[in-house]
């Protein structure tokens, strides 16, 4: 849309420049003429063109990063899968160690859920750091997915894209 409007603004700028030159000979020093009107319209359309170019230059890099967003999401999800595996190992070792005490627990539950149930595991620094990274990665994934959703709107604003 902005690119279309920029094209229209460029055409009007050129038209007003041509008309200003055409009516230059009829310029009067003391009163406002058609020449002055075309001169003012040249300035206005020129400023509109500059504003649209700045807006396009600000939005275009965001659209250019679209191809990277999916790979970033996949990377964070892969890292979270590794963290889940590590925490799963720690939880399994802990459950084996405490099997007598916690014999009624189901080991089919998520390892992240089990970590929150056991204060001994929750206070473990390695598990705590991995949980912080896991939560931070989930926040980044959410942010990247929001950026991807916003890109559809930005593409439409730039060029009626999907």
- 110 touches 35 (CB < 8 A): no
Rounded Cα gap, residues 139 and 129, in angstroms: 15
Question: If you search the block for the tokens 């990665």, which residue do you land on?
Answer: 137
Stretches in the chain below the pLDDT threshold 50: none
Which pLDDT score, from 0 to 100, does residue 89 have?
83
Which pLDDT score, from 0 to 100, does residue 21 have?
84
What are the residue boundaries of the structural domains of the chain, listed by start?
Answer: 2-64, 66-150
Number of H helices, E strands in the chain: 6, 0
Which pLDDT score, from 0 to 100, does residue 143 have?
93
* Structure token pair of residue 20: 């200003």
Rounded Cα gap, residues 91 and 98, in angstroms: 10
What one-character-per-residue DSSP string does 60-109 give? HHHHHTHHHHHHHHHHHHHHHHHHHHHHHHHHHHHHHHTTTTTTT--TTS
Which pLDDT score, from 0 to 100, does residue 161 have?
63
Rounded to 5°, the CA angle 107-99-105 comes to 35
- 45 touches 14 (CB < 8 A): no
Which pLDDT score, from 0 to 100, does residue 35 have?
80
Which pLDDT score, from 0 to 100, does residue 117 have?
61
Which pLDDT score, from 0 to 100, does residue 20 have?
85
């Amino acid at each position: 849309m902005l690119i279309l409007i920029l094209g229209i603004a460029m055409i009007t700028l050129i038209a007003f420049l041509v008309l200003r030159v055409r009516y230059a000979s009829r310029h009067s020093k003391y009163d406002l003429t058609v020449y002055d009107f075309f001169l003012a319209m040249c300035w206005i359309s020129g400023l509109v063109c500059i504003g649209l170019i700045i807006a396009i230059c600000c939005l275009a890099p965001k659209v250019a990063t679209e191809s990277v967003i999916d790979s970033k999401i996949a990377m964070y999800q892969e890292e979270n899968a590794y963290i889940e595996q590590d925490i799963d190992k720690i939880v399994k070792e802990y459950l084996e160690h405490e099997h007598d005490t916690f014999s009624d627990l189901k080991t089919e539950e998520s390892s992240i859920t089990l970590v929150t149930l056991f204060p001994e595991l929750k206070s473990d620094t390695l598990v705590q750091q991995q949980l912080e990274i896991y939560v931070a990665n989930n926040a980044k994934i959410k942010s990247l997915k929001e950026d991807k959703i916003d890109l559809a709107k930005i593409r439409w604003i730039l060029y009626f894209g999907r």
